[in-house]
């Protein structure tokens, strides 16, 4: 039996991903990339999210637990890191983000060493190209997406916005409504029922993901497919949601789960006839490519979220970014993920100081809205 190489180095790269002016969270929007290199010089890349700046520190602390390990032992290393961090309590941003970044990079290494795309390691392709949906909050944005070939997008949680977009694009374009988890159950029900006549494709996070009872109330009163999941970090969290039978569409975030865990989550959903539409709105190019491979391998895929217009350096900090075409992204056939980090370009876009931003701080009555707007 051939001897596998061993992990020799683990490096992280924090990359700014916004205009550096306004933000709702410390340091705004950033990407965290990881590169794991073996002792024979083969590297794999991954991306972690949740709280990228904190997760980067966490991965640095985990480096001694990875050096010298077999990169092929993905399941065992996932369990090792999970156990090392067991004292942190339930899996959240730090453990979830670190596991996701490391896990994704290991899949990339394994694919490269075996000379196969990652999707082949996940059971092979179900789909040759992945349908993507965008974001539009006004008529101009919606028209631009449709002209570009998109047949799906989501919008802000306002009836007037949904009405104007539906009148523009007609009945054949799918439109989701994104609640951002900001409504009380009563307000979410009021908004959802008002939206029903415009046939939304899904109603995303109408209430806080911390309160499943609130979501259950909405699901019982609103006749729109309920979607959620971007702020969950483990298969156990998704199991608890799926067992309640209150969601029609789950939206796992690969920078918080990784490939291994997200594949398991997709299988849990498949067993309950629930579709999967991975969240990808704030993630970077490495995460999107990991999503493409994973989505290619799951039969219950609905579509993938895609940031159709992002910062210009999204396509330069990584080599191998595949643009959308007619509302789809083709599945690549290169070994591993088929994407790499340009370290020099990443260094040109460092994370900005916290003082660089003007922050939006919401009043208490704005955190959970008791009446919908619009």
Q: Give pLDDT tens digits for 75-134.
A: 999 999 999 999 888 899 999 999 999 999 999 999 999 999 999 999 999 999 999 999
Catalytic residue among 22, 86, 135, 180: 180
Distance CA 34, CA 32 (A): 7
User: How far is CA 243 from its chain centroid?
Assistant: 22
Residues of the chain short of pLDDT 70, as ranges, are 1-2
Catalytic residue among 135, 178, 279, 306: 279
DSSP state of 242: H
Any catalytic annotation for residue 22?
A: no
**Closest to 100 (Cα-Cα) out of 308, 318, 259, 320:** 259
pLDDT at 88: 85
Token pair 């083969």: residue: 42
Domain with CATH 3.30.390.10 in the chain: 7-116+354-359
Distance CA 139, CA 148 (A): 14
Domain with CATH 3.20.20.120 in the chain: 121-336
- The string of pLDDT tens digits covering residues 288-297 is 999 999 999 9
pLDDT at 316: 97
Distance CA 344, CA 213 (A): 48
Any catalytic annotation for residue 279?
A: yes
Q: How much helix, strand and coil, in percent to the nearest 5, is found in the chain?
A: 40, 20, 40
Distance CA 224, CA 192 (A): 7
> Which distant-in-sequence residues (6+ apart) come within 8 Å of 89 by Cβ?
none
Q: Which CATH superfamily is domain 7-116+354-359 in?
A: Enolase-like, N-terminal domain (3.30.390.10)
Distance CA 96, CA 276 (A): 19
Please list, residue by residue across 121-144, b when 16 or more beta carbons sit within 10 angstroms of its beta carbon and e when fewer do: bbeeeebebbbbbbbbbeeebbee
pLDDT at 65: 98
Q: Does domain 121-336 have CATH number 3.30.460.80?
A: no
DSSP string, 89-145: -S--HHHHHHHHHHHHHHHHHHHHHHTSBHHHHTT--S-SEEEEEEE-SSHHHHHHH
pLDDT at 2: 67
């Amino acid at each position: 039996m051939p001897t596998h190489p061993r992990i020799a180095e683990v490096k992280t790269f924090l990359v700014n991903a916004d205009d550096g002016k306004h933000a709702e969270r410390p340091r705004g929007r950033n990407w965290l990339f990881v590169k794991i290199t073996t002792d024979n010089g083969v590297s794999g890349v991954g991306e972690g999210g949740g709280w990228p700046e904190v997760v980067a520190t966490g991965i640095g602390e985990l480096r001694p637990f990875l050096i010298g390990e077999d990169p092929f032992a993905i399941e065992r290393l996932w369990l090792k890191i999970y156990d090392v961090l067991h004292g942190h309590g339930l899996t959240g941003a730090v453990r979830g983000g670190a596991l996701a970044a490391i896990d994704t990079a290991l899949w990339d290494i394994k694919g490269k060493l075996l000379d196969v795309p990652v999707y082949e390691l996940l059971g092979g392709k179900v789909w040759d190209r992945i349908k993507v949906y965008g974001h539009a909050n006004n008529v101009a944005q919606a028209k631009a997406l449709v002209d570009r070939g998109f047949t799906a997008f989501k919008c802000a949680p306002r009836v007037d916005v949904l009405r104007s977009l539906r009148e523009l694009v007609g009945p054949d374009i799918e439109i989701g409504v994104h609640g951002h988890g900001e409504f009380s159950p009563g307000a979410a029900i009021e908004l959802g029922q008002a939206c029903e006549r415009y046939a939304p494709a899904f109603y995303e996070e109408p209430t806080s993901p911390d309160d499943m009872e609130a979501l259950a109330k909405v699901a019982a009163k609103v006749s729109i497919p309920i979607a959620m999941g971007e702020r969950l970090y483990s298969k156990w969290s998704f199991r608890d949601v799926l067992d309640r039978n209150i969601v029609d569409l789950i939206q796992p975030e690969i920078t918080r789960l990784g490939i291994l865990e997200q594949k398991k989550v997709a299988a849990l959903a498949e067993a309950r006839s629930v579709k999967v539409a991975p969240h990808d709105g704030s993630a970077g190019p490495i995460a999107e490519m990991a999503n493409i491979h994973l989505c290619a391998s799951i039969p219950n895929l609905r579509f993938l979220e895609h940031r159709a217009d992002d910062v210009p350096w999204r396509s330069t900090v990584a080599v191998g970014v595949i643009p959308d075409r007619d509302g789809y992204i083709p599945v690549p056939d290169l070994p591993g993920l088929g994407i790499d980090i340009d370290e020099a370009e990443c260094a040109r876009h460092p994370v900005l100081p916290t003082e660089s931003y003007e922050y939006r701080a919401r009043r208490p009555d704005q955190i959970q809205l008791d009446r919908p707007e619009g």
